[in-house]
Amino acid sequence: MANEETSEGPVVVGRTDAGFTLIELLIVVAIIGIIAAVAVPGLLSARRAGNQASAIASLRAISSSQRAYSTTCANGAFAATLTQLATAPASGGVPFISPDLGVADSVVKSGYTVTMAAGTDGVPWALDACNGVTGAQLSSTFYASADPVAPGSTGTLYFWLGVAGTIFRDTADIVETAGLSATPGGAPIQ
């Protein structure tokens, strides 16, 4: 393309002034920043709520697994650890709890540390369970807890479960170890 000369001066063909100015770009960046400042707290709150719902679901799974284990395998006793629930019966079958919870005695899942133990108010059992757990390793009570890994960030509530199957929640750690405790701290959620 050739440049042309007019009475108003030279005309450059093929050059345009289209584009964004620095001010326009700064305005766009400011708008994105405002939207992010509004959206991020809501996103973090939703994440905490999801983590807390997962913790409650984990405790419900432990409760139902303990019921099944006690009635079908442990002659009325309860497992003292999550790994005992994850052990399949010797005669065949499936474990009593899902692999994500039964991989260790204390499991980190969705921002919460889930732990289960024999209740300090329990007594060892005389009969062995069908999955190779000896009566001395079983207990007449149990309790489980779900505590946030990073309090305030991954969750704001602490959860506790006992033999009765009621899940309690509190904003402070629930340290009760008696599985038959009717008032371990906090308020019941179910």
Give domain limits for the chain: 20-188
Model pLDDT, residue 172: 97
Average pLDDT over residues 3-29: 73
Model pLDDT, residue 124: 87
Helix H or strand E segment including 45: helix 22-72
Q: What sign does the CA torsion over 181, 186, 187, 190 have?
A: negative
Q: pLDDT (tens digit, 9 = 90+) per residue, 88-127? A: 999 999 999 999 999 999 999 999 999 999 999 999 899 9
Q: pLDDT (tens digit, 9 = 90+) per residue, 120-174? A: 999 989 999 999 999 999 999 999 999 999 999 999 999 999 999 999 999 999 9
Architecture (CATH level 2) of domain 20-188: 2-Layer Sandwich (3.30)
**Residue 147 CB neighbour total at 10 angstroms:** 19
Judged by DSSP in three states, 168 sits in strand
For residue 63, pLDDT over 90 is answered with yes
Model pLDDT, residue 37: 87
For residue 16, pLDDT over 70 is answered with no
Mean pLDDT of all residues in the chain?
Answer: 91
